[in-house]
Amino acid sequence: MDQESMSSYLKMCEKVTQSYQIIGRKWVAPIIHTLMEEPKRFSEIHALIPDLSKRVLVERMKELEEEGIILRNVIADRPVRTEYSLTRKGTELARALNAVGRWAKEWL
């Protein structure tokens, strides 16, 4: 393998490792799954994943927002609401997680 190919391979490995670090965090996959259909408020996400503490949900939502996977949208109605939705990046990740889910259903 030449130097350029090796450099390209190592960069790809770093990105794959980074992706596993993101999706490997506890509760990330269920959070993404809840947002696949439509935007949801924090309380709706929490209700759909009852074993997830509010503290951890807040942490994961911040992390996913920082990664550009979810979008936090403040709606200035009365009362003010905040909804979360998947970004394009998050939608692509959701598709990948669905593929893993299909594999798990068949093989595990």
Provide the pLDDT for residue 31. 98
**Residue 33 neighbours by CB under 8 Å, 6+ apart:** 94, 97
Q: What are phi and psi of 24, to 5 degrees?
A: -80, -10
In a domain, 92, yes or no: yes
Q: Inform me whether the pLDDT recorded for 1 exceeds 90.
A: no
**Can you read off the two tokens belonging to residue 36?**
């696949």
pLDDT in tens, 37-60: 999 999 999 999 999 999 999 999
In a domain, 8, yes or no: no
Provide the pLDDT for residue 77. 85
Provide the pLDDT for residue 102. 95
Q: What's the sign of the alpha-carbon dihedral 84, 65, 63, 67?
A: positive
Query: Which structural domain, as residue segments, surrounds residue 97?
Result: 27-107
Q: Any idea how long the chain is? A: 108
- Average pLDDT for 13-31: 92
Q: Please state the domain count of the chain.
A: 1
In a domain, 14, yes or no: no
Provide the pLDDT for residue 3. 79
